[in-house]
Structure 1
Amino acid sequence: MTAILVTGSSRGIGAAAAAALEARGVEVIGHQTRSGDAERIAADFSDPRAAQMLWEEAMDRSGGNIAAVVNNAGLFEKNRLERSDIEWLDAWEDTIRINLTAAAQISRFAVRHWQECIAGQDGVRGRLVHVASRAAYRGDSPGHWHYAAAKGGMIAMHKTIARAYAAEGILSYAITPGFTDTSMAGDYLESRGGAGLLADIPLGRVATPEEIARIITFCALDAPPSMTGAVIDANGASFVR
């Protein structure tokens, strides 16, 4: 059975993606930051060793048969400009590590693994799906420089991977949601005026985790190889490009 590693799968978009993939008959190897559910691998990405530990455990559980990785885990915490220098820098580095560096580490492990695998009939060896953010293109609030920078870096990384390894059958897709109805986004919406912020979304509502999960599932299982390198927006037309 095909196995897919989904990081940050304990709630929100990650939980919805895991459910959607399982409904397609996929074995999902889930991940969460802290221990508590034996079905998910616990790995705290603020620890530089955690990404490698997660990958090795996922490979062990799947018997070395990971067909795709969904880089979804993220940290979204405000970092006030008025903080002390060390507090501001610590928050910056934590967000970059969790949102970008850990995804880069796991992507690297996956690419190296797939380079040694035999391609399927469609020529595909493996797929990466990166859950980035509208912030990668539009930017974010004054308290979220670090988040926007991390997601912008993820998009640049994704495009580089797609161009570098397409000829080897290693595909990369990215999704850039806007506001999504998760606990993380809920706190942010409330901090910026709540329902009044919806005026900036022509659709008139935020996305649901299930909507983003449908896009993730498409990229992980169905997207044609010629789509590698694509970035799929899902923001209710609040930012079009």
Structure 2
Amino acid sequence: MTTILLTGASRGIGAAALAALEARGCRVIGQATRASESLLAADFAEPQAPQVLWETALAQAGGAIDVLVNNAGLFAENPLDGSDIAWLDGWEDTVRINLTAAAQLSRFAVRHWQDRGTGGRIVHVASRAGHRGDSPAHWHYAAAKGGMLALHKTIARQYAAQGILSYAIAPGFTDTGMAGDYLASRGGPALLADIPLGRVATPEEIATIIVFCALDAPPSMTGATLDANGASYVR
């Protein structure tokens, strides 16, 4: 049985991925900011939270985790004309949650697989914003997701020979509460004019790609970034 640590598992893409992975027979250890009966609590705004989560998940898994899915994220406005302190706080919170925590967990995962002498997989849920940028109030989000893509490429290039594989997904707007707030703030349906498909992605669509990367993608695909944005950004 494949054991997977999935962050951001309480709603949206994460909840859909949790259900889809379990349907494939995986054992999924999910994380959320607040604990529930089935999810471990870890507030990634706290620097030590990723390490505590990794150690707790590893103990729960019996000492072996096969796949890490970095899905947790924060998408909050950070207006350019806010106070200097508020802007910096917003920047640091978003980068810590969206990038630094993912890097910490990836490091623990890579070292775990090196120590065990086994391969493993990391799936990074990044964003279209990491390629094309975002709004004036979301510099921090775009920068963090761009950093995640660079992190992913580095892991893929440096550890493939050890069977440690890295895949990234770059969704555009997805029908989650997080993206819904943004769509409303940007005029709702008018924003869809930028998406040739005419609609945003569903969480289940992104979950399908997560399952593919976690379980089915061939090793030769390591380093790849899969776009899912309705052709709003093509490269």
Give the TM-score, by structure 2 length.
0.99
Whichever residue aligns with residue 160 of structure 2, its letter is A
Pairing partner for 1:164 from 148, 158, 161: 158
Deviations 1:137-185 (A, max 9, x none): 1100000000000000000000000000000000000000000000000
Please show how residues 101-120 of structure 1 align to structure 2 within 5 Å.
Answer: 101-119=100-118
Whichever residue aligns with residue 17 of structure 1, its letter is A
CA contact (8 A) 1:129 1:216 kept: yes
Aligned residue in 1 for 2:134: 140
In the alignment, structure 2 segments of 5+ residues that lack a partner are: none
In the alignment, structure 1 segments of 5+ residues that lack a partner are: 120-124
2:38 is equivalent to residue 39 of structure 1 = yes
- Partner secondary structure for residue 175 of structure 1: strand
Please show how residues 193-212 of structure 1 align to structure 2 within 5 Å.
Answer: 193-212=187-206
Q: Aligned partners of 2:86, 2:232: CA distance in 1, in Å?
A: 32
Pairing partner for 1:225 from 219, 225, 230: 219
Pairing partner for 2:122 from 115, 128, 132: 128
2:81 is equivalent to residue 82 of structure 1 = yes
The Cα shift of 1:97 comes to: 0.2
Aligned residue in 2 for 1:95: 94
Q: Aligned partners of 2:180, 2:227: CA distance in 1, in Å?
A: 20
Aligned residue in 2 for 1:22: 22
Deviations 1:108-127 (A, max 9, x none): 000000012243xxxxx100
Superposition RMSD in Å: 0.6
Aligned residue in 2 for 1:55: 54
2:59 is equivalent to residue 65 of structure 1 = no
- Partner secondary structure for residue 166 of structure 1: helix
Moved more, 110-119 or 75-84: 110-119
Give the TM-score, by structure 1 length.
0.97
Q: How many matched pairs? A: 235
Q: Aligned partners of 2:72, 2:120: CA distance in 1, in Å?
A: 19
- Structure 1's consecutive aligned runs of 4 or more residues displaced over 3 angstroms after TM superposition are none
Aligned residue in 2 for 1:122: none
Q: Aligned partners of 2:202, 2:81: CA distance in 1, in Å?
A: 33
The Cα shift of 1:38 comes to: 2.5
Q: Aligned partners of 1:89, 1:44: CA distance in 2, in Å?
A: 19
- Partner secondary structure for residue 66 of structure 2: strand
- Partner secondary structure for residue 5 of structure 2: strand
Q: Aligned partners of 1:140, 1:134: CA distance in 2, in Å?
A: 9
CA contact (8 A) 1:166 1:228 kept: yes
State the identity as a percent. Answer: 74
Pairing partner for 2:181 from 162, 187, 193: 187
CA contact (8 A) 1:2 1:65 kept: no
